[in-house]
Each structure stands twice: as C-alpha cells, then as structure tokens.
Amino acid sequence: MKNSLKNKAKQFWKDFRFNLSATENPLFMNFYKHLYQPKKGSIAEFLSEYSLSKQGDFHVIQIGANDGITNDPIHKFIKRDRWKGVLLEPQPDVYRNYLSKIYVKNKGLHTLCAAIGEKDGKQKLYKIGFSTMRWATGLASFSLEKLKENFASGVVQKNCDRFGIEIPKDPEKQITSEEVEVISPATLLEKFKIPKINLLQIDAEGYDLEVIKIFEIEKTQPEAIIFENVNLPEDELKACLQLLKNNNYLLKKFGRDTLALHSSNTEMAHLVLSSN
C-alpha cells in the first residue's frame, strides 16, 4: 500500500512536470531562466556555461532522448536557451506519447522517431517486454546481451521490486524486440540542415562507442560529446577514450557520464581541465 501510494505520487509529479514543460508554463520557464543554479563542478555547470556562451546559437544532436525530460541532463537548457537540432528516440510508443509532445513549442528543434546507424534502414531493438515504465524503456538496447546483463546483474529485479512488478517466468515475455527506423548521420545532417554540432549527447545503453564511431567524429567534429561510461565494458571504454584523445578531445568524467570537449574550444576548456 505504501509503495503504491509512493509510486502514484512519483507518477503524478512526472506528469505534472512534463505538462509544465510541454506547455512552457511561465513558472517552469522562469525558474530555469532566473532561479536555477547548477552545482559547482557538475556537468550541469559545464552545460549551462557552454550553452550561454553560444547566445542562442546552439545545435544539439541527442541519441536516445526517451521521454525528453526524465533523468535528461540537457532538457532544462534546451528550454531555457532555445537550442536547435534533432533529438532521436527509436521506440515508437515513447516517441509518440512523450518526446513528440514535449518540444512542440521549440522552433528549430526537431524530434525524430529513429535510431542512428551507419546506413538508413531498420534494425532490431531489444526491450523489456512486460513494462512500459521509464526505467524499462530506458534499458532498451540494440544489444541483446547487454539487456540480458541487466537481468543477470539484478538491475531489472531492483526496479520491479520498487514498483511491485513481477518478472514473467517465460523468457519470451521478459525480452521482446521490434524493428525500428535507422538514419545515418549523413542523412540526418542533410535532412535537418544542421550546420554544426555543438553537442552530441548520447544515451545508448552500452551502444555509445558505436554511436561515436558511426558519427565519424574526425569528419563531423562535434564540439562536445557526452556519453554514458557505466554501460561500457572496460575494453570498450578504453577504446572509446583513446579514439577521442586521438581526435584532440579533452576528457573529464562526471560520475556515470564522460564529457569530451574538442581542444579547439579554449573558452570552455577550464571547466574540463580544472580537476582532471
């Protein structure tokens, strides 16, 4: 009973905050414009200063945007500073119910129901088959093995315990899959006329290294890249960091996320080098 009431309260707050943002309620907008102060030394501090330095000319590509707000490090800055660019989410239900609605008032910012890939087409996406809650949709992955690891490590069980959900005994009901749209970086940049990438924001559930490779950063040269380091095996993380270093990126770890800033951006470099 106690957990049920707690979960209902959390859902109410999520829906309330979502609606405040989607409608650009003055209370929501004014809080982030005039009152919000990011924590010193946090990735939010970097994003805030970086965004303000561009004076409304900030272009983002986000891979794995999900609902556009929950545990999303860039949402507040998109709204506050009117970022432009494209946000991608491959799960049709998540896209239709959330991402397509939350940024309807943001001109110059596009949402797209697709994943990034080397070529345009379709690809199989694996997901939790018995829940559409945010924790479950956030675990969707192109890697079946990585999703299975979330079961083996207890991540899925922990979330099920929190929300009073029973994991089906039938393996076919535990993990399901669907074919999703895939778009290549070349098509994406051309279709949406993206002149530059100030930030490549990645939340790809262990697919982050592949996304960075797919973007051919030596050619597209995103000014900054943020990706999750916690879901990458040690060897892949080392390869990812080396790839970024080889392409002249300064690196800084912020907990579960890693920031890579191109060395040509001397204005923001102090926030990366300060505690490395």
Model pLDDT for residues 50-60, shown as the tens digit of each residue? 999 998 899 99
Whether the per-residue pLDDT at 205 is higher than 60: the answer is yes
The pLDDT value given to residue 203:
92
Structure token digits, residue 79 = 């709204």
Model pLDDT for residues 209-220, shown as the tens digit of each residue? 999 999 999 999
Distance CA 77, CA 45 (A): 11
73 phi-psi bin (left φ>0, alpha ψ -120 to 50, beta other)? alpha
For the chain, how long is the longest CA-to-CA vector?
A: 55
- 273 occurs within a structural domain: no
Mean model confidence pLDDT for the chain: 93
The pLDDT value given to residue 274:
64
% of residues, the chain, pLDDT over 70:
97
The pLDDT value given to residue 2:
58
- 254 occurs within a structural domain: no
- 148 occurs within a structural domain: yes
- 237 occurs within a structural domain: no
Percentages of the chain per state (helix, strand, coil), in multiples of 5: 45, 20, 35
Sign of CA dihedral 14, 93, 216, 231: positive
Judged by DSSP in three states, 129 sits in coil
Identify the H or E element spanning 246: helix 234-246
End-to-end C-alpha distance for the chain, whole angstroms: 47
Distance CA 220, CA 41 (A): 28
Number of domains in the chain: 1
Q: Return the closest-CA partner of residue 215 out of 181, 185, 248.
A: 185
Half-sphere exposure of 221 (CA within 13 A, CB side): 8
- 153 occurs within a structural domain: yes
More confident residue, 77 or 230: 77
CA–centroid distance for 209 within its chain: 14
Q: Return the closest-CA partner of residue 207 out of 269, 251, 145, 163.
A: 145
**8-22 mean pLDDT:** 90
By the 8 A CB rule, do 77 and 83 touch?
yes
Edge-to-edge strands of the sheet including 175-183?
115-116, 175-183, 121-128
Parent domain of 162: 124-178
Whether the per-residue pLDDT at 4 is higher than 90: the answer is no
- What count of other Cβ atoms lies within 10 Å of the Cβ of residue 88? 23
Model pLDDT for residues 94-123, shown as the tens digit of each residue? 999 999 999 999 999 999 999 999 999 999
